Amino acid sequence: MKILVSVLLFLSFLQTTIVPFNLVLIILIARAFIKEERNNLYLGFIFGLLISHLSLLPLGLLSIVYLVIIELVHLLSHSRLAKHFLLIIPLTLTMLLFEQILISLITNKAISLSWIIIIETAVTLPVYFVLRIWEERFIVKKEIKLKINP
């Protein structure tokens, strides 16, 4: 979890300064699709506040949007289609469009639907596989207990 928070912190600064892609939201969507935990909501709230502050949006706007998106992904991850990994692509596209539309409606700015959303959607699949490998291989699950034989 410490490494994930460090990566998200780095990406949030990168996202608001250099790269115009919504990298934090992509990772949050992929993690919420892989693993349904309350920690996803905490991460969405905290990094929504941070990105709102860094990008000079009303404080808490992105937190609410991220929480809604994570909760929608949690709900959709229970469907029968969620067994197939390719569902992450249309799911991410839909959630990124949803985020852009909500932010543009609340801030009274024009909707900026451009090629950036397509690139963000294409980046989702590699991010999904990296997170899935990380969660399966390197994170110890609570169900696994080591037995020591005397």
Residue 127 belongs to some domain of the structure: yes
- Domain tally, the chain: 1
Domain range enclosing 114: 2-135
> For residue 146, is it within any domain?
no
Query: Does 72 reside within a domain?
Result: yes
Which pLDDT value is given to residue 141? 64
Provide the pLDDT for residue 143: 66
Is residue 142 assigned to a domain?
Answer: no
In a domain, 26, yes or no: yes
Predicted local confidence at residue 53, as pLDDT: 93
pLDDT at 145: 64
The pLDDT-based confidence of 150 (bands split at 50, 70, 90) is low
State residue 125's pLDDT score: 92
Q: pLDDT digit string (tens) for 84-126?
A: 888 889 989 999 999 888 888 888 888 777 788 899 899 999 9
- Examine the pLDDT at 36 and tell me if it is beyond 70: yes
Report pLDDT for 142: 66
Average pLDDT over residues 32-50: 92
Residue 81: is its pLDDT beyond 80? no
Asked whether residue 141 is domain-assigned, the answer is: no
**Residue 144 falls inside a structural domain:** no
Task: Choose the weakest-confidence range: 19-28, 69-78, 80-89.
Answer: 80-89
Cβ atoms 116, 21 nearer than 8 A: yes
